[in-house]
Structure 1
Amino acid sequence: MSRRTCNTLKPCTEPPYKSGQGSANDNNANQPYPTLDAAISATYAAKSTAKLKSKLYDSYVRAIRWATDRIGDAGIIAYVTNSGWITGNTTAGLRLAMPEEFSALYIYDLRGNQRQSDWRAEGGKIFDDGSQTGAAILIAVKNPAATGPCQIHYRNIGDGLSRDDKLAIIAKSELPTMAWETISPNEEGDWVDPRDEAFISYTPIAVKRGSDDLAIFTDYSGGLKTNRDAWVYNFSAAQLADSMSATIDFYNEQVDAYQRAVAANPELAVEDAVAYDEAKISWSSGLLPKVQRGQRISYQPTHRRLAMYRPFCKMHVYFDDDLNDRRGRLHYLYPREDLPNFGFFVPNPGNLAPPFLSLMTDALPDLGAAGISAVNFYPRWTYQTRAGGGQLTLDDSAQADTEYRRVDTISPQVLATYRAALGDDISTDDIFYYTYGLLHSPQYRQRFAADLKKMLPRIPPPAAREHFDAFTHAGHTLSDLHRGYETAAPYPLLETTTGALNGTPQETLRVTKMRFKSKTDRSVLIYNSQLTLSGIPEDAHRYRLGSRSALEWIIERYQIKTDSRGSGIVNDPNTWCSEHDDPRYIVDLIKRIVTVSVKTMSIVDSLPPI
């Protein structure tokens, strides 16, 4: 299959306000622009403090950079853009650079980002193209006669407006007569929702590896990024084995086909030689080079692990060097299935950060475990080989005789600081649980909401020993509750059957897609056509993890889903029940999550002020 090309400043299939491509299967990568990208590197990227700066090379950002250079010292550019750059952490460099190059900026935020956790407030989308992206109008003016700093004008179109309402407002808007908010950016490039100055004085939860700066944790990892979730995750261990075996077989066929093709044509690019068949494989930038090197892959049953895919939703995962696109440092935290660990994840600050959340788990965390945003995972321990070793791999046979030592991830410098302030009996366990407890503080989350969208958490020092002890106790209790959610006491919900229960327990308790009785009555859950669960207390809905309550996460994840991208792989939560010989697993899980939710909110409500 020949590779499609595109000579414009945007991907062929994407509107100008959207970014990137879904996967390498799209066969539609952004075209390289060496001169333009060098200009972005010297301006927007140079001023950005984000670790991942790839979003600065999206097509609409490239278009802004190109137009800025194209008009020279005088002129006006006007674009409809993605609205994420207005508040995004990665695009802070863009916001810092633009006022240095323009005399006036007008930003009309049209909202409509359907991927935000508060998507109802975002209102309708401006473009009816199937995208979930918010939009904004940017007008940037270069006036050589202007004096003084750049004037930044911002207007928010409003909350909860429909698409038609927004278009009607835009049609009546005239630039000279519109009411604009004047923005005074801070040093970090915040235009909207500026961060709290006190936040920066607190101890970072983690810093860049190799840095000498003080931080709570010495090691952490991003979540597992597979780039092929439909193949690599499943409720069924048997289905996972079948899916992985099939895609590995197809991959190896492509390795052989490429070797034959390149022998006849040494200049042939690997992208032009492999088959893009979404029913059989999901290609990624990490997998194609392996084909080029002639690297074959074999299925390893021992690479199956348990993962926390979404809050309180565990699935089997194929944890593998070759077929996971990015593993972060998870192989140091979970080098073998028989080496336990646990920790908590929080959303990675960025364009799509939901309301802040934190959740403890003893399973491998998926990159999207928080839902919308990628996560960072802060473990209780990391593992090192006793030989003082090098890179840990996932090849169990090579590690059979290797002994590991467990390493504490709480900084010894932080421990010394806390002991000096609070007493010599403070332990690293105490600091770990203090951190988890404090991250659940409603006061902390509310006051620093803007900061937590832009930066990793920073931990304020305890005001007194009793303050520290209260958060430590709460954090320990929450940790036990959240890690042990599958063994929590089921909440006494009323089970009501409709009609005769025909068939085996597996059949009568089979779930397809659960729902609440109505939007206004969330005390009753329709489990299936034969069973309803009632008596859900309102406190169960108060415990929210980002955009959903814990119970809503169960409803959203525990339904039969067929991969929509073309593989046809079915992910059926009922298979978890059958393979664990527990037909009541999902019913009891709902009851247990209600218990966990109610107890969590009781603990959170009793937390002291920070």
Structure 2
Amino acid sequence: MYEEFNHIYSINLRGAIKGKVGVDATKEGQSVFNILIGTAITILVKDDSESHSINYFDIGDFLNRNKKLKKISELKSIKNISWNTVYPDENNDWINQRDEKYANYPKMAGEIFEDWAVGISTNRDAWVISFGKENLVDNVQRMIKQYETERNNLKLNNSTTDIDRDSSKIKWSSGLIDKLNKQVEINFNNNRIQLIQYRPFTKKFIYYENNLVERPGKYRNWQKGNPIIFITGKGSRREFSTAMINLIPSLDLIEKGQGFYQWHLNEGNLLSEKSDNINGKKFGLSTEETFYYIYGLLHSKAYRENYASDLKKELPRIPLVKDKEKYVEIGKKLADLHLNYEDVPVYDGVNIVFKSDNPSFKVKKMKHPKRGQLDTIIFNEDIVITDIPERAYEYVVNGKPAIEWIIDQYQVKKDKKSGIVDDPNEFSDNPKYIFNLLLSIINVSLQTMDLVESLPPLEIIV
């Protein structure tokens, strides 16, 4: 645009709150339209001159719709605006320009980790992912039975035009239609059921099989014991975040998520034959130390703030910092905390109110008593949890506090199209699993914030 036009006048009206939480969302203010994405007025001028200019105006922080519209009305014309002159950088960024030094740091993808992979995408989560293993088996078997019926019918009429597209019987996709046309036989295999890290601090069962998982990715050869640093991918709407996991990741575990594993995913690569996926020489650390160094650094508030724009536009680059050993130490503690979150002792600083002598620990949908009252969670009709520290909500993963992920995910949900019900109470034989998980995540959140704040200052050497 800068080269195509001579004069550009851009008024940023903000309001891009989709995918943002807390201060990041309120700072954008309301959109001037009743939508959740930002808007701008941009005037592009062509003339016969050789001059080019970009004139930029930001409407301001924390403004509601009426204040923004009033400000536009008062300005009346671009003549009345005090413009900021913008000079595009070498990346053609106008605002939120990238740090020039950042480009010199080693790339996490390719220079430090030899291999990495996006999370898996099924294109039919309701059918092949479930909290309950028995429910999953039933759904998958029903779908395979319907597929095989359609495959046998296709032998007779040789056309997919008349296949049954009832979404309560099967979820078609381009990949599955292709297999139908090729007469690929699908049989149920109980060995394909395993756990997946579905969302932050949320595990489910998945039927991980190439025919029914649209984009199975590289994780077919992943083996337990190979930890993964999962991070926000480039182009995300949300602020950068990361999670340490030891299960196969869903693509939407973190937006546009990318996984960086400690060991290669080679075929038949047993843990006794581990092959390093990390170049530790970049920082004078062992490969294991490098793994934890990176996880610690990616939690640094200063790193995320300084390179916020860069982290939205490309996968992270990792500088060498002073006190790297301390980053290794805290990174390992964070990793242990996040990998073993189910085993973290419950936070005992809250007050548990039982409204029954024989309370149920099953959930339908947890909630706060009212908007903004974060110190209290109504677990179910029998149990209310109060005195939750506000600080616990400061630990945010993928745009949402870890506690809110538990509230959001651990509820009974019915998929509208398929009619399939997913009940989190079926996940564990322990009736208190979800209750204990919530109290553990409060503790995990508080400990995470303590560890993050104990990281040394971000003093970059190279």
TM-score (norm 2): 0.89
Give the corresponding residue for 1:608.
456
- Structure-2 separation of matches of 1:252 and 1:178: 69
Q: Deviations over 1:302-326 (max 9, x none)?
A: 1111111111011111212122222
Structure 1: distance between partners of 2:8 and 2:138 = 55
| Equivalent residue number for residue 325 of structure 2 | 469
In structure 2, the partner of 1:206 is: 109
Q: Which amino acid aligns with 1:416?
A: K
After TM superposition, give the deviation of residue 587 of structure 1 in Å. Answer: 0.9
**Shift in Å at residue 380 of structure 1?**
1.2
**Structure 1 position 365 matched with structure 2 position 365:** no
Distance in 1, matches of 2:85 and 2:162, equals: 54
Pairing of 1:139-218 with structure 2 (within 5 A): 139-143=43-47, 145-149=48-52, 151-162=53-64, 174-177=76-79, 179=81, 180-207=83-110, 215-218=111-114
Name the residue aligned to 1:434.
Answer: 293
Of residues 161, 168, 171, the one that matches 1:282 is 171
Return closer, same or farther for 1:596/1:382 CA change in 2, 3 Å cut-off.
Answer: same
Counterpart in the other structure of 1:524: 376
Matched, 1:596 2:452: no
Aligned counterparts, 1:110-509, within 5 A? 110-117=13-20, 118-125=24-31, 132-143=36-47, 145-149=48-52, 151-162=53-64, 174-177=76-79, 179=81, 180-207=83-110, 215-262=111-158, 270=160, 272-334=161-223, 339-350=224-235, 352-370=236-254, 373-385=255-267, 405-411=273-279, 415-419=280-284, 426-463=285-322, 467-492=323-348, 493-501=350-358, 508-509=360-361
Tell me by how many angstroms 1:366 deviates: 0.9
Structure-2 separation of matches of 1:405 and 1:166:
61
Amino acid at match of 1:242: D
1:569 paired residue among 412, 420, 430: 420
Question: Are the equivalent residues in 1 in contact too, given 2:218–2:265 (CA < 8 A)?
Answer: no
> Contact 1:385/1:405 (CA < 8 Å) preserved in 2?
no
Q: Give the Cα–Cα distance (whole angstroms) in 2 for the partners of residues 559 and 603 of structure 1.
A: 30
Q: SS of the counterpart of 2:186?
A: coil
For residues 229-252 of structure 1, what are the alpha-carbon distances to aligned partners after superposition, in whole Å with 9 as ceiling and x for unaligned?
A: 222221111111112222222333
Q: 1:163 to 1:290 in 2, by over 3 A?
A: farther
Please tell me the root mean square deviation across aligned C-alpha atoms, in Å.
Answer: 2.6
Letter paired with 1:448: Y
Task: Output the CA distance in 1 between the equivalents of 2:357 and 2:97.
Answer: 59
Flag the 1:163–1:226 CA change in 2: closer, same or farther, 3 A: farther
Instruction: Measure the CA separation in 1 of the matches of 2:27 and 2:149.
Output: 49
Q: Which deviations, in whole Å up to 9, do the C-alpha atoms of 1:324-343 show, x marking residues without a partner?
A: 22222222334xxxx43211
In structure 1, what residue type is equivalent to 2:227?
Answer: F
Which is further off, 477-486 or 454-463? 454-463
- SS class of match (1:486): helix
Assess if the C-alpha contact under 8 Å between 1:435 and 1:475 holds in 2.
Answer: yes
Counterpart code for 1:345: F
Give the letter for the 1:495 counterpart.
I
Closer/same/farther in 2, CA of residues 167 and 280 from structure 1, 3 Å limit:
farther
Partners of 1:384 and 1:405 within 8 A in 2 = no
- CA shift for structure 1 position 481: 0.8
Whether the aligned pair in 2 keeps the contact of 1:560 and 1:573 (CA below 8 Å) is yes
Identity %: 35
2:430 aligned residue (574, 577, 582): 582
Alignment of 1:33-182 (within 5 A): 98-117=1-20, 118-125=24-31, 132-143=36-47, 145-149=48-52, 151-162=53-64, 174-177=76-79, 179=81, 180-182=83-85
Q: Is the 8 A contact 1:106 1:140 kept in 2?
A: yes
Tell me if structure 1 keeps the 8 A contact 2:221–2:266.
Answer: yes
Instruction: Give a deviation string over 1:21-49, Cα, whole Å, max 9, x none.
Output: xxxxxxxxxxxxxxxxxxxxxxxxxxxxx
* Number of residues of Structure 1 aligned to a counterpart in Structure 2: 453
CA distance in 1, matches of 2:295, 2:412: 33
Shift of 1:526: 1.4
- Alpha-carbon deviation of 1:173? 6.2
Superposition deviation, residue 156 in structure 1: 3.9
TM-fit CA distance, 1:284: 2.8
Please state whether the residue corresponding to 2:418 is helix, strand or coil.
coil
Q: Alpha-carbon deviation of 1:186?
A: 0.8
- Cα distance in 1 between the residues matched to 2:409 and 2:398: 15
**Equivalent AA in structure 2 for residue 472 of structure 1:** V
Unaligned runs of at least 5 residues, structure 2:
none
CA–CA separation in structure 2 for the residues paired with 1:363 and 1:348: 18
Contact 1:333 1:381 in 2 (8 A): no
**Cα separation, 2, equivalents of 1:438 and 1:218:** 19
Higher relative contact order by CA 8 Å / sep ≥ 6: 1 or 2? Answer: 2
Asked if structure 2 preserves the Cα contact closer than 8 Å seen for 1:383 and 1:404, the reply is: no
Distance 2:98 2:218 in 1: 29
- Letter in structure 2 aligned against 1:588: N
- Partner deviation per Cα, 1:527-579 (whole Å, 9 max, x = no partner): 11211122322331221213211111111111111113x11111111111xxx
Instruction: Output the CA distance in 2 between the equivalents of 1:403 and 1:536.
Output: 41
Q: Could you say if the C-alpha distance between residues 292 and 438 of structure 1 is closer, same or farther in structure 2, counting changes exceeding 3 Å?
A: same
Q: Which structure 1 residue ranges, 5 or more long, are not aligned?
A: 1-97, 208-214, 263-267, 389-401, 420-425, 503-507
1 CA distance for matches of 2:163 and 2:39? 36
Give the letter for the 2:286 counterpart. Answer: S
Distance 2:120 2:28 in 1: 29
Compute the TM-score of the two structures, normalised by the length of structure 1. 0.69
